[in-house]
Copies of this chain bind each other. A is one copy, B any other.
Amino acid sequence: MLLNTRYDQNNYPIIVEKGAIEQLEKALSHYQHVFILIDQHVAQQWPFLKNKWNHAVLIEIPAGEQVKHLNYYETFMNQILEYHPTRNTCLVAIGGGATGDFVGFMAATLLRGVDFIQVPTTLLAHDSSVGGKVGINAPKGKNLIGAFHRPKTVLYDLDFLQTLPKTEILSGYAEVYKHALLTNHKAVTQLETQYPTAEHLYTLQNIEVFIVSGIETKLNIVLADEKEHGQRKFLNLGHTFGHAIESQHQLAHGHAVMIGILFQYIVANLVLNARFQPHTFYQYLKDLQYPLTVIEAFDFDQLYTRMLSDKKNDATGIQMVLLQQIGQPKVMHVSQYILKEAFQQLLQLHNEVK
C-alpha cells in the first residue's frame, strides 16, 4: 500500500507492505554517504540486515527510548563525522519510533541538515512516520530538544511486526486506538470488534488496515495544522497525563497513553458534561492485558509538576485535549482543581474495578 503526504512541498511516500525494506537499496543509490542506524534489538532479531547493504556504514544503537539522550547523540554524531560526510548524505533509521526520533534529529542537525529515511519496525512507529517531528529527551521531559525534519521516504515493512514482543504490541495499539478516537465511532467500533481481547490483538490480524487508516488520520490533522488552525494539538489526546506517568514511572509509551486516555474521559465528563463510561474503557484495557496496577503508585503532586512542563501549555496553564464525543476533540485549559478531582476518581475507579 502506497500513501503519499500532501504538503505544499517536500512530500514523501509512505510504503506499507511486507518486504518493503527491499526498496531501500534503490532509494539510497544516489547518495554519496549512507549511514544505517539500527536498533540493537532489531539487529539481533533480524541478522540478515547486517550485511545487506555494501556501500553503507551500519551502526547499531541502543534499543528503544534510552538512545534519545544527548550523550548518545554526541557519540553517534562524532562517529559519523569521522567519515567526513558531505551534504549528499542519507541517514537511515531502522527501529521503532524512538529510533526514528533520534536518527531524525541527527539528520536535522548534521551539517545543518541531511536526508533521512525511516524504516519503522514497530506498531507504534506508524505514528511517527507522519508529522516530521524528531527529537531527544532532556532531564525535564520527553522530546524537549528537537526539530521538524521530514523523512525522504518511509518504508514500513510489516514483516518486522512478526517478532514484536507483546508489550510492544500493546504500546503501539494505543496510538492506533487514539487515531480511531480522533476519527469517529465507526473506526473505534471496528477496532474493538477486531481486537476484543489480548489474544485477538496479539495475532495482529488485519493490522495493516488500521495502520493505514491511522496514518491517514494523522496526515489529515497534520495537514490541517499547516494552515495554522491548531488541530495538530489534537494528536496530544491522552498525552498530557500520559507523558507525566510515562516519565515518572518509566512506563512504555502506549501503556501510559492508554491510561492518559482513561484520565481524559474522566476530565471530559467533569468539564464538558461528556458521557463517557470510564469503567467500560478500564475493563477493555484489562481485557487487553494492559498493566494497570501501577495506578496505585501514582502521586498527584509529582504528576502535576510534570504536566506543567508540557510544551503545549500556554500562559493560562495546563492545556489538555478532551473529547466532547468520539471524533470531536477540543483543546482546553484545565485547572489544578479539576485535575485533582479527576485524579481521585481515577484512583477510586481502579480500586473498584481492579
Contact of A190 with B by CB under 8 A: no
Contacts of A138 in B (CB 8 A): 77-78, 81
Give the number of chain A interface residues (Cβ < 8 Å): 37
Q: How far is the CA of A87 from the CA of B81 in the complex (A)?
A: 31
Q: Which residue of B lies closest to A108 (CB)?
A: B147
Q: How far is the CA of A84 from the CA of B111 in the complex (A)?
A: 29
Copies of this protein in the complex: 2
A70's partner among B74, B133, B146, B315 (CB-CB below 8 A) is B74
Contacts of A77 in B (CB 8 A): 138, 144-145
Nearest CB of chain B from residue A141's CB, rounded to whole Å: 8
A81's partner among B78, B108, B140 (CB-CB below 8 A) is B140
Interface string of A139-160 (1 = CB under 8 A from B): 1110111111000000000000
Contact of A340 with B by CB under 8 A: no
Contacts of A96 in B (CB 8 A): none
> Is B315 a contact of A84 with CB atoms below 8 Å?
no
Q: How far is the CA of A147 from the CA of B84 in the complex (A)?
A: 18
Nearest CB of chain B from residue A315's CB, rounded to whole Å: 5
> Is B87 a contact of A311 with CB atoms below 8 Å?
yes
Interface string of A306-317 (1 = CB under 8 A from B): 001101111100
Contact of A194 with B by CB under 8 A: no
Contact of A112 with B by CB under 8 A: yes
Contacts of A87 in B (CB 8 A): 311-312
With A86-B314, A314-B86 known to touch, is A140 a contact of B308 (CB < 8 Å)?
no
> Is B70 a contact of A309 with CB atoms below 8 Å?
no
A111's partner among B88, B113, B311 (CB-CB below 8 A) is B311
With A81-B138, A109-B109, A135-B112 known to touch, is A88 a contact of B314 (CB < 8 Å)?
yes
Contacts of A309 in B (CB 8 A): 81, 84
Q: Which residue of B lies closest to A141 (CB)?
A: B81
Contact of A289 with B by CB under 8 A: no
Contacts of A88 in B (CB 8 A): 314-315
Q: How far is the CA of A314 from the CA of B146 in the complex (A)?
A: 28
Task: Tell me which of A82, A87, A145, A309 has the highest count of chain B C-beta atoms within 10 A of its own C-beta.
Answer: A145
Contact of A110 with B by CB under 8 A: yes
> Is A112 a contact of B146 with CB atoms below 8 Å?
yes
Interchain Cβ contacts under 8 Å between A and B, 20 examples: A77-B144, A78-B139, A81-B138, A81-B139, A81-B141, A81-B309, A82-B140, A84-B308, A86-B311, A86-B312, A86-B315, A87-B311, A87-B312, A88-B314, A88-B315, A108-B147, A109-B147, A111-B146, A112-B133, A112-B311
